[in-house]
């Protein structure tokens, strides 16, 4: 079946009590943005590796198990390998030249540039993974709304995230229903196979539209949109440790920027 | 129709010590063994999550057992594709919206027989028969998805009947039908049963079970906890209660009246009326 447990794929969040879980989601969002900017600013493979090591320590502190992280990032890791392999093939600049295969020239600086980019991609993926791993979708949306996202946009986001697993379960069920009527999805000519997917697509779209329609009625019947402003049961509050974490995050960005752009250290 | 297993013909479908767990680790079935004989009218009942749908999906190969064997017509189902098994075991899904996609009801009902490779004339014949059995012949040119829930359900059942399988598994087919429509559906199924088709009805409606099925399989927590004649199953309501099932009102009333000489072994309102008339008729 393979797709039975899509929730693990869609929702990376894992409940936990580490300080990374408890920290205000707004601080985490700012931290992730800052660390992403930092990953783009750093162009030296050593400093990027240092950043990656720092992010790995954070992963460790969030108690993300190795197998779960591998599962969540398996596509990113393939992508990183691809970058390292392809970069030198398409970038012939610089010396010394390590090897020549016909028109393809493999140079040392190009290999390093490939590695640097791969590490950068790794940093970005891991840092966003920490956010998704330690923050529930509910907290994430609430933080975004608190940071100025319009409430209805936030609700739309929350609903789409909430319905992803439901949606994939519906698709599985539809596939089963058509198979039970003797359809063989991957048999026949290309035309026949693409026609087969119509049998999956139509009920999927129809049931998505039907549930969207029902959902909007359910929202309205619970007085959604009755008032423009809205009160909240739980207001996220910045605590002392959140403020401390935020200042660490700011320092993490400002110090390297100072060293790189003011003092001219080649970071 | 009373099944009469003969020496040369084994069960049309069977499960042997079948365990099943879903990918997320949910253990849905524990060591289920059962035989389904040609021509039986079986009700598969039990609380939500007790494993009814899992059994249905194992019988037509949509799910494969984690341990044990599923046999269809004596052959190991593990070696056959879902398409091949659907020739013998037809399965009408709980939610009709999960299988309707054609632009007319006629095309929808033709989809299954065509997949099975029936010649055009034969396929049309089977589809027409299914449409008339479900009394939806007049909806032939309508778009299935624009119909009412009751009609959509009848189209989805018709689309499985049209494939002419020997075993028909129907997952809660009466949901969303009004009393009249449900009675009509059950009459059609009884008719197919008379012709020798095996019916496996998954339902929560004990009245339908009491009035139509001759054998009851009660599921609880992935086990078959009761497998017997319907009359026997309802004569011991305690066992049903444990599985969260409540007998229909006529049977409950018969049990309350058993101290007054009414036989508790009735199944339908008609039988109860007869029994009451027999006991009190003499006195009045």
Q: Which chain B residue lies closest to A173 (C-alpha atoms)?
A: B98
Q: Does A192 touch chain B (CB under 8 A)?
A: no
Question: Do B171 and B83 share a domain, yes or no?
Answer: yes
Identify which of A174, A182, A203 has the shortest CB distance to residue B86.
Answer: A182
Please tell me the distance in Å from A199's CA to the nearest CA on chain B. 6
The mean pLDDT of B200-225, rounded to a whole number, is 93
Is A190 an 8 Å CB contact of chain B? no
Q: How far is CA A58 from CA A23, B73, B83, B131, B267, in A?
A: 13, 58, 50, 63, 66
Residues B18 and B137 in one domain: no
**Between A and B, how many CB-CB pairs are < 8 A?**
82
* Chain A environment of B112 (Cβ under 8 Å): 181-182
A188, closest residue in chain B (CA to CA): B115
The total of other beta-carbon atoms located within 10 Å of residue B116's CB is 20
Indicate the residue of B87, B101, B163 with minimum beta-carbon distance to A202.
B101
Q: Which of B91, B97, B145 lies at the smallest CB-CB distance from A180?
A: B91
Residues B1 and B84 in one domain: yes
Q: Does residue A80 register a pLDDT over 60?
A: yes
Q: Which residues of B touch A206 (CB under 8 A)?
A: 97, 100-101, 145
Given this model, what pLDDT does residue A57 score? 92
Of the partner residues A5, A179, A181, the one whose CB lies closest to the CB of residue B163: A181
Q: Output the average pLDDT for chain A.
A: 86
Answer yes or no: is B58 within a domain. Answer: yes
pLDDT band for position B8 (50/70/90)? Answer: low
B87/A182 touch (CB, cutoff 8 Å), yes or no: yes
Contact present, B170 and B92 (Cβ < 8 Å): yes
The verdict on residue B76 lying in a domain is: yes
Q: In this complex, do B24 and A199 lie within 8 Å of one another by their Cβ atoms?
A: no
Asked if residue B189 and residue B80 are part of one domain, the reply reads yes
**Are residues B132 and B39 located together in one domain of the fold?**
no
Determine, for residues B98 and A174 on separate chains, whether the beta-carbon distance falls below 8 Å.
yes
Q: Do B234 and B107 belong to one domain? A: no
Proportion of chain B above pLDDT 90, given as a percent: 64
Say whether pLDDT at A8 is over 60. Answer: no
User: Is B96 a member of any domain?
Assistant: no
Which one of B120, B145, B164 terminates a domain? Answer: B164
Q: Same structural domain for residues B81 and B147?
A: no
- Average pLDDT value for residue range A110-130: 93
pLDDT at position A4 over 50? no
Residues of B in contact with A2 (CB under 8 A): 23
pLDDT digit string, tens, across residues B164-211: 999 999 999 988 888 888 999 999 999 999 999 999 999 999 999 999
Same domain, B157 and B169: no
Residues B13 and B89: beta-carbon distance below 8 Å: yes
C-alpha to C-alpha distance for A251 and A103, rounded to whole angstroms: 47
Decide if A52 touches B, using CB distance below 8 A: no
How is chain A split into domains, by residue range? Answer: 11-145+237-262, 150-221
Q: Are residues B16 and B147 in the same domain?
A: no
> Domain ends where: B142, B164, B186?
B164
CB distance from A5 to chain B under 8 Å?
A: yes
Tens-place pLDDT, residues A148-170 = 888 888 888 888 888 888 888 88
Nearest CA in chain A to B144: A203
Report the sign of the C-alpha dihedral through residues A20, A25, A30, A35, in that order.
positive
Is residue B94 a part of any domain in this protein?
Answer: no
What range defines the domain where residue B44 resides?
1-88+165-246
Average pLDDT, chain B: 90
> Does residue A198 sit at the B interface (CB-CB below 8 Å)?
yes
Q: Among partner residues B97, B116, B160, which is closest to A206 by beta-carbon distance?
A: B97
C-alpha dist (Å) from residue A3 to A173, A175, A266, B22 = 10, 11, 47, 10
Write the CB contacts of B107 (distance below 8 Å, at least 6 apart in sequence). none
Of A160-164, A226-230, B40-44, the range with the highest mean pLDDT is B40-44
Residue bearing tokens 């119909």 = B147
| In a shared domain, residues B120 and B74 | no
pLDDT one-digit tens code per residue, B127-178: 999 999 998 999 999 999 889 888 999 999 999 999 999 999 999 998 888 8
A186: closest chain B residue by CA: B83
In a domain, B97, yes or no: no
Model confidence at A15, in pLDDT bands (50, 70, 90)? confident
Structure tokens at B263: 């036989």
A179 contacts chain B (CB < 8 A): yes
> How many structural domains compose chain B?
3
- To test the contact with chain A by mutation, choose from B59, B101, B156 the residue with the greatest count of A C-beta atoms within 10 A, namely B101
- Which is nearest to B163 in space by CA: B192, B143, B137? B192
- CA–CA min distance A75, chain B (Å): 21
Beta pairing, strands B167-171 & B89-92: parallel
Facing A181 at nearest CB: one of B22, B97, B159: B159
Sign of the alpha-carbon torsion through B153, B175, B177, B234: positive
Nearest CA in chain A to B114: A182
Q: What local confidence, expressed as pLDDT, does residue A6 receive?
A: 40
Residue B279 included in any domain: yes
Best mutation target, A172, A181, A205, to test chain B (most B CBs within 10 A): A181
- For residues B136 and B170, state if they share a domain: no
Measure A22 CA to nearest chain B CA, in Å. 27
pLDDT at B283: 61
Judge if B200 and B272 occupy the same domain: no
At A2, the pLDDT band (50, 70, 90 cuts) reads very low
């Amino acid at each position: 079946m393979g797709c039975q447990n899509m929730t693990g794929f869609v929702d990376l969040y894992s409940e936990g009590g580490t300080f990374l879980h408890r920290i205000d989601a707004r601080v985490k969002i700012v931290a992730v943005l800052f660390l992403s900017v930092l990953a783009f600013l750093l162009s030296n493979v050593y400093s990027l590796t240092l950043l990656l090591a720092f992010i790995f320590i954070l992963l460790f502190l969030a108690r993300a198990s190795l197998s779960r992280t591998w599962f969540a990032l398996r596509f990113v890791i393939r992508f990183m390998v691809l970058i390292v392999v392809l970069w030198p093939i398409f970038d012939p600049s610089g010396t010394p030249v390590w090897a020549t295969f016909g028109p393809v020239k493999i140079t040392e600086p190009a290999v390093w540039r490939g590695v640097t980019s791969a590490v950068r991609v790794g940093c970005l993926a891991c840092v966003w993974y920490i956010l998704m791993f330690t923050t529930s979708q509910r907290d994430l949306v609430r933080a975004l709304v608190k940071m100025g996202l319009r409430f209805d946009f936030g609700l739309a986001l929350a609903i789409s995230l909430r319905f992803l697993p439901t949606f994939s379960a519906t698709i599985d069920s539809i596939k089963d229903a058509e198979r039970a009527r003797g359809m063989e999805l991957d048999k026949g000519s290309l035309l026949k196979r693409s026609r087969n997917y119509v049998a999956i697509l139509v009920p999927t779209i129809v049931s998505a539209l039907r549930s969207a329609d029902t959902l909007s009625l359910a929202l309205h019947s619970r007085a959604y949109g009755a008032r423009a402003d809205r009160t909240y049961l739980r207001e996220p509050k910045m605590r002392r440790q959140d403020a401390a974490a935020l200042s660490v995050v700011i320092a993490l960005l400002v110090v390297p920027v100072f060293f790189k752009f003011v003092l001219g250290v080649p970071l | 129709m009373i099944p009469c297993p003969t020496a040369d013909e084994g069960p049309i479908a069977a499960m042997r010590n079948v365990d099943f767990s879903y990918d997320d680790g949910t253990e849905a079935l524990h060591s289920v063994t059962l035989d389904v004989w040609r021509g039986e009218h079986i009700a598969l009942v039990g609380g939500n999550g007790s494993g009814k749908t899992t059994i249905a999906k194992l019988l037509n190969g949509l799910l494969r057992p984690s341990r044990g064997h599923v046999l269809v017509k004596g052959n190991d189902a593990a070696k056959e594709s879902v398409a091949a098994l659907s020739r013998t075991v037809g399965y009408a899904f709980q939610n009709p919206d999960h299988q309707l996609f054609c632009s007319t009801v006629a095309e929808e009902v033709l989809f299954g027989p065509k997949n099975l490779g029936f010649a055009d004339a034969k396929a049309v014949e089977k589809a027409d028969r299914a449409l008339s059995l479900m009394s939806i012949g007049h909806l032939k040119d309508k778009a299935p998805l624009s119909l009412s829930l009751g009609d959509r359900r009848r189209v989805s059942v018709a689309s499985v009947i049209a494939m002419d399988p020997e075993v028909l598994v129907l997952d809660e087919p009466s949901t969303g039908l009004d009393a009249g429509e449900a009675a009509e559906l059950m009459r059609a199924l009884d008719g197919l049963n008379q012709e020798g088709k095996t019916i496996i009805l998954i339902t929560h409606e004990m009245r339908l079970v009491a009035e139509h099925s001759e054998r009851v399989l009660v599921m609880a927590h992935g086990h078959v906890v009761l497998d017997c004649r319907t009359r026997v199953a309802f004569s011991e309501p305690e066992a049903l209660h444990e599985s969260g099932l409540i007998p229909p009102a006529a049977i409950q009333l018969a049990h309350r009246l058993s101290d007054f000489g009414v036989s508790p072994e009735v199944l339908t309102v008609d039988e109860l009326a007869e029994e009451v008339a027999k006991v009190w008729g003499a006195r009045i």
